Every structure is written in structure tokens, then in C-alpha cells.
Amino acid sequence: MYLVAVLGNLLIILAVISDSRLHTPMYFFLSNLSLADICFISTTVPKMIMDTQLQSKVISYRGCLTQMSLFLIFGCMDDMLLTVMAYDRFVAICHPLQYHVIMNPRLCFSLVMVSLLFSLLESQLHNTIILYFKYFEHMNISNFFCEPSQLLNLTCSDNFTKHIVTYFVGTLYGFLPLSGIFLSYYKIVSSILRIPSASGKQKAWSTCGSHLSVVCLFYGTAIGVYLTSSVLHSPRKISVASVMYIVVIPMLNPFIYSLRNKDMKRALCRLQSRTM
């Protein structure tokens, strides 16, 4: 599954870079999402595979903090890029004549940089809180990686502070981006319903279907795990849900975006023919 995820997302990046017809904002954001997915899954799964082979369940203090930091950076990057892609679809469908003026290269690059900045801020926020409360060692984490909310449970004995931090971060990096996606799709649906022809509606929906599928998969598991882990104490359920959004979703993203997208299929075929 790890190899399929990495190779699949690499193919998406190579297809976008090699085909000039895919040098558009939508595919620019998609290639950045694929890069974030590769980094996201690589922060946890290689360590898990190595631990399984060596029959080891130990991670160092520095290694744990490093893994948590990288996990937060690339996980939040996925979160932010999905929101940016929703805005891109909103401009493309609701303001098609102004699309290339609004979504110019400078704005696209700025949106990616802002997403990275927010991701770094979230990672530093978690690090500051965890390092402030307690130096932890010889503790058990009921997961296959250093899951941020579980580390917060271990290091912060004050339940009030713990809940405040959890829901503040969940609101800032979960609820607000999701609200932006909902608002974008509310405008998109309103515009699509006003399109007179059935073929026009179908074409508009086809550009949004892949993105909506990924959003539902990612947010349905990630936010559920993050917000409920401080309330529910079911390590097995949390671990299963973690596998879904850490391993399964990055693996499925290339299939979702390539199988439902004719332009991407053509680009992959052209890339294959060049390689052959």
C-alpha cells in the first residue's frame, strides 16, 4: 500500500510536469497535493514497517517529536490544499471568464506558500504545548505512530487545558477550512443548477467529483479521530481510523484523480508512451 501510494502520487506529479496541457491552476494544486501525500505517508509508514520487521515498539524522544512535527506539517498541508482546490473550482465554475485572471500564477504560488505557513504554525503550536508541560519517556502510545492528540493526553494532565487546545486547533485547522469548502460548493451547486443544458451540468460536476470524494474521505476520518480522541478511550478504533487517513487515502488519491479525469488519463498515457 505504501509503494502504491508513493508511485501513484509520483506518476501524478510527473504527468503534470511533462504535459504542458496540464499546466493549469487545478493541476498545479493537484501536484502539490500529491507531493504532500507522499511526505505525509512517509512520516509514519516506513517506521511502522521497520518496527514490524524488527519486532520493535520503541521510538526515541527526539524521533517522536520529529515524527509528530512532520506528520502535522504535511497533514495540515493536505487540509489547506483541499480548501484551496475548492476555491479554485469555485472560481472556475462561477467565474469562468475571469478564471485565468483571478487564478494567476502569482496567486496560485501564494496560496501554496500560505498553506505551508499555516502548516508550520500548527506544528510549532503542538510542539510548544507538549514541550511546555512535561518531558515524557517510558510511556505507551496506543497507536503505530506518535499521534498528536495522544501525546497531548500523555503530557497534559489538566483536562480543561487539554480540551481547550484540542478544540481550538480543531476549529482553526478543521472547522474553518471545512467551512470554506462548504461555502465554495454552496456557490458551485447554485451556479450548476442555473446551467440550462444537461451536458453542461455533467461537465461541471465531473470537475468536482474527484475533489469531493477526497474531501469526504480525508475529513471524515481525520477530524473524527482528532476531536474524539480526547473524549473516547478506544485505542483500536483510533488506530483503525488513523490507518484510513494516513495510508488508505494517500493511496486512493491518485486513482480517484486519474480514473475520473480524462485529461489526466491522456497525460498518463502520453507519459507511458514516452517512457516506452
Q: Per the structure block, which three cell numbers stand in for 168?
A: 481550538
Q: In Å, what is the CA distance from 226 to each residue of 45, 119, 152, 176, 223?
A: 19, 16, 11, 15, 5
pLDDT tens profile 87-138:
999 998 888 889 999 999 999 999 999 999 999 988 888 887 777 766 666 7
Kindly list the distances between the CA atom of residue 142 and the CA atoms of 102, 136, 162, in Å, as whole numbers in the listed order: 46, 15, 18
pTM, full prediction: 0.86
The tens digit of pLDDT for each residue in 146-158 reads 877 777 777 666 6
Cα-Cα-Cα-Cα torsion 259, 194, 219, 131, nearest 10 degrees, comes to 120
The CATH label, of 1.20.1070.10, 1.10.3720.10, 2.60.120.10, 3.30.1330.100, for the domain at 2-275 is 1.20.1070.10
What does each C-alpha distance from 22 to 9, 86, 242 come to in angstroms?
15, 18, 33
> Quick one: average pLDDT of 175-184?
86
Query: How many angstroms separate the CA atoms of 167 and 174, rounded?
Result: 9
